[in-house]
Amino acid sequence: MTLFRFLPLRISSIVAGLALSIAPTLVLSQTGAANLVAADNTPSTAAYVSTPSSTAAMASFTTVGELSTVPAPVLTAKAWLSLDVNSGQIIAALGPDERVEPASLTKLMSAYLVFSAIEDKRLSLDQTVNISENAWKTEGSRMFVKPNSQVSVDDLLRGVIVQSGNDATVALAEAVAGSESAFAALMNDEAARQGLRDTHFVNSTGLPDPTHLTTVRDLAILSSNLVRRYPQYLHYYGQKEYTYNNIKQPNRNRLLWADETVDGLKTGHTQSAGYCLVSTADRNGRRIVSVVVGAASDAARTENSLKLLNWSFQNFDTIKLYDDEKPAVNARVWEGQAETVGLGALQPTWVTVPRGMGPQVEPVARYTQPLIAPLTKGSKVGSLTLSLEGKTLRENSLYIMEDVQEAGFFARIWDKIHLLFQ
């Protein structure tokens, strides 16, 4: 009787040590063609935020443009980058990690923090903000607000985004954080949270400072996060003109007039930074962000950006490989009430490839074995690597997609014995 009582514990300890020593990871390769989902469905608009780890890993992945037979256009800019928002993949880039002055592209982060404050109920669109002497005196492009006047957050956002007003930007920074310097600290905290490794902000406006720097990679990630997380505010970026204080000013993004699919985002210019433009367009549910910095003129940044957008849309496909309810792989479960469990992503998995090459994508799942119940939905257990022609395009975490309860006593013992011979 005593021997029988302790036998399951003895078997359990032997099995656990043996199984982990001989089978730490299972690698499963599947053909991509069998798992592709039609690409003409509009992708999920769920919030997407890059993490520091995913951002760092992005630098080691193959850009999709390297696998295309159609070369990227020749652009007359210091640095540039094209990113597919749906998949999060860089299509092509020149100098992606070269540190540059962002000029008024800085206001993308300023607006991001204002949107966040509105969503958190710390500000409201109809709330009025007092215009300080400090905000009124800010040099550079202006909304022409008057000192000690009360202006709504909604009007100030139009002043920031449409008119690129530095005075409006400082006013909102002070409303959110109390001072512009405190707001700049929040900007840097948010940059770190998003994994913008080479970005440092000194002010809210983009006025030149030797340490106020970023990269086109970081700007693309920030812009992608902005349009994914705050689509309800994207209409500000598509507004072509705005009148305040009887002064009409046009949006400096000339692509709004040149291409009806373009709905943002932001221009920037100083003598030292040159002409810069972060643009985005949505065509049939697929969104691209292009970043061009250091162009020689307003016309050059517009032409370069349109070339890059057109090339990115015309020569690449973005396909949904797995739905958030469709597992990438069904894995064996031990000691559970179910024999298998689906492993997949928490959000739909999209991948960008050269046009027509979707069926050639090869997904490889790697996950720790054995998977022993109980298992909890949402637990991370491995990774899914997506490759094309032997080149890694992206890597996603693998999560357990449903709870699996522990099996009964005798079923668990049976699985423990089976594990000894795996």
Average pLDDT over residues 115-144: 97
Length of the chain: 422
CB 249 within 8 A of CB 162: yes
Assign 3-state DSSP to the chain and report helix, strand, coil percentages, each to 5.
35, 30, 35
pLDDT digit string, tens, across residues 166-225: 999 999 999 999 999 999 999 999 999 999 999 999 999 999 999 999 999 999 999 999
**In the chain, % of residues over pLDDT 70:** 86
Residue 152, classed as helix, strand or coil, is strand
Select which of 104, 132, 204, 305 is catalytic: 104
370 cis-preceded (ω within 30 degrees of 0):
yes
Residue 25 burial (CB count, 10 A): 9
Residues of the chain with CATH 3.40.710.10: 71-314
The count of C-alpha atoms lying within 13 angstroms of the C-alpha of 59, restricted to the half-sphere facing its C-beta, is: 16
Residues of the chain with CATH 2.60.410.10: 2-46+320-419
| 221 φ/ψ sector (left φ>0, alpha ψ -120 to 50, else beta) | alpha
Residue 273's nearest CA partner among 76, 111, 78 is 78
Residue 367's nearest CA partner among 16, 23, 21 is 23
Q: Regarding predicted confidence, which is higher, 306 or 420?
A: 306
Tokens standing for 163? 């008119």
Average pLDDT over residues 81-93: 97
pLDDT digit string, tens, across residues 260-286: 999 999 999 999 999 999 999 999 999
Select which of 50, 87, 141, 164 is catalytic: 164
Sign of CA dihedral 398, 403, 409, 414: negative
Q: How confident is the model at residue 308 (pLDDT cuts 50, 70, 90)?
A: very high
| Res. 294: pLDDT tops 60 | yes
Q: How confident is the model at residue 397 (pLDDT cuts 50, 70, 90)?
A: very high
265 cis-preceded (ω within 30 degrees of 0):
yes
Taking CA atoms, 11 is separated from 339, 383, 420, in Å, by 20, 30, 9
CB 419 within 8 A of CB 336: no
Residue 223's nearest CA partner among 54, 132, 109, 62 is 109
Q: Which ranges in 121-177 belong to alpha helices (H)? A: 133-137, 153-161, 166-177
Q: What is the C-alpha to C-alpha distance for residues 211 and 199, in angstroms, rounded to an integer?
A: 9
According to the model, what pLDDT value does residue 59 have? 52
Q: Regarding predicted confidence, which is higher, 324 or 152?
A: 152
Q: Examine the residue annotation and report whether 107 is marked as an active-site residue of this protein.
A: yes
Report which secondary-structure segment, H or E, holds 81: strand 79-84
Pick one of 3.65.10.10, 3.20.20.370, 3.40.50.920, 2.60.410.10 as the CATH number of 2-46+320-419. 2.60.410.10
CATH 1.10.3720.10 for domain 71-314: no
Q: How far does the chain reach from its first CA to its final CA, in angstroms?
A: 30
> In this structure, are strands 89-94 and 79-84 parallel, antiparallel, or unpaired?
antiparallel
pLDDT digit string, tens, across residues 321-365: 888 788 889 999 988 898 999 999 988 899 999 999 999 999 999
Task: Give me the chain's average pLDDT, please.
Answer: 87
Select which of 78, 107, 320, 416 is catalytic: 107
Can you give the pTM of this predicted structure?
0.84
Q: Examine the residue annotation and report whether 60 is marked as an active-site residue of this protein.
A: no
For the ranges 55-59, 94-98, 395-399, 412-416, the lowest mean pLDDT is seen at 55-59
Helix axes 2-22, 409-419, angle to 10 degrees: 50
Q: Examine the residue annotation and report whether 152 is marked as an active-site residue of this protein.
A: no
Beta bridge mates, 75: none
